[in-house]
Amino acid sequence: MRLLNSLVTPAIGRFVLSYGLLGLAPVAAETTTLAISGADAEGIVGAKFDSVQSGMLNSSGQAIFLADLLPGSGGVTSADDQAVWLFDGATTTLVAREGVGGVPEVAGANYQTFRDTAIDDSGHLVLRADLQVGVGGITSSNQHGLWRYAATDSVIARSGSGDVPGLPGTSFSQFPIFLYVAEDGRVGFNGALALGGGVSSTNDKGLWSYEGGTGLLIAREDTSTVPGVADAAFNIFGAPAVNDNDQIALLGALKLVNNVTSENNIGVWRYTGTSGELRC
């Protein structure tokens, strides 16, 4: 996957999201403008693009991008001025918009903010988003989540819902800043658990992977065995990398106990399923 190029021209105040299909030979690229400030926003009558925040391109030439709408155009307000679009190689389609409902598997809820977006090689989308508090039973404890848009749109994981893989009776409280999605759609993330019910500030961090709607606990702070380091415990999980071979890798830090010191507490681990190995 590749991030899309965002080009800002301060002199004229325009924001352009460009998309290129590059061949192997050193020839000129074919470039298509997906969004430009002031242009019509597909799927929202009368609305105009204001700025583009981020985008990602898959190996099939499909792209997902997150953009802001121009307030006032097409009735746009600050409560519904952010949305996500999919470019399938020929046309651009509105996928999700804040403030207008349509949140998969959360009836009556509205998106409030989109935090990050990703696309796999099948054209399936993953969104990290917050829901609007006070609408559809949403509170500050259950507003965060990850959603997948595929043949059937669904929630992958959500705070406050009690659906943490490997830890019955617990709930997520936070998700990572960025999404990590493999080309086959597998999702990996380092998340945080809500405190209470045996979860404390010493064991509330963990690493999970999801294939479709099935999640797997890979490792947890303070409680999981550390591959390759005897009598050690994880303290911090860095951002993971995930691939199509059921593998997830991370940069992590260990607690300073037993033979672990500040000079040897950092390492890189690779897991295949739940079987891990110290790489360096």
Closest CA to 210 of 142, 124, 146, 125: 146
pLDDT of residue 205: 96
How is residue 101 written in tokens? 């409902």
Question: pLDDT digit string (tens) for 75-113?
Answer: 999 999 999 999 998 899 999 999 999 999 999 999 999
Strand partners for 4: none
Average pLDDT, the chain: 89
Give CA 168 to chain center in angstroms.
23
Round to whole Å and give the CA distance between 21 and 32: 9
Round to whole Å and give the CA distance between 227 and 269: 8
Round to whole Å and give the CA distance between 200 and 33: 49
Query: Do the Cβ atoms of 208 and 193 come closer than 8 Å?
Result: no
Tell whether the model's pLDDT for residue 67 goes beyond 60.
Answer: yes
Reduced to 3 states (helix: H, G, I; strand: E, B; else coil), residue 224 is coil
Closest CA to 118 of 108, 109, 128: 128
- Residue 74 dihedral angles phi and psi, to the nearest 5°: 60, 25
Question: pLDDT digit string (tens) for 208-251?
Answer: 999 988 999 999 999 999 999 999 999 999 989 999 999 999 99
Exposure pattern of 56-88 as b/e (b: 16+ CB <10 Å)? bbbeebbbbbbbbbbeebeebeeebbbbbbbbe
How is residue 219 written in tokens? 């490792």
Mean pLDDT across 136-140:
96
Tell whether the model's pLDDT for residue 161 goes beyond 60.
Answer: yes
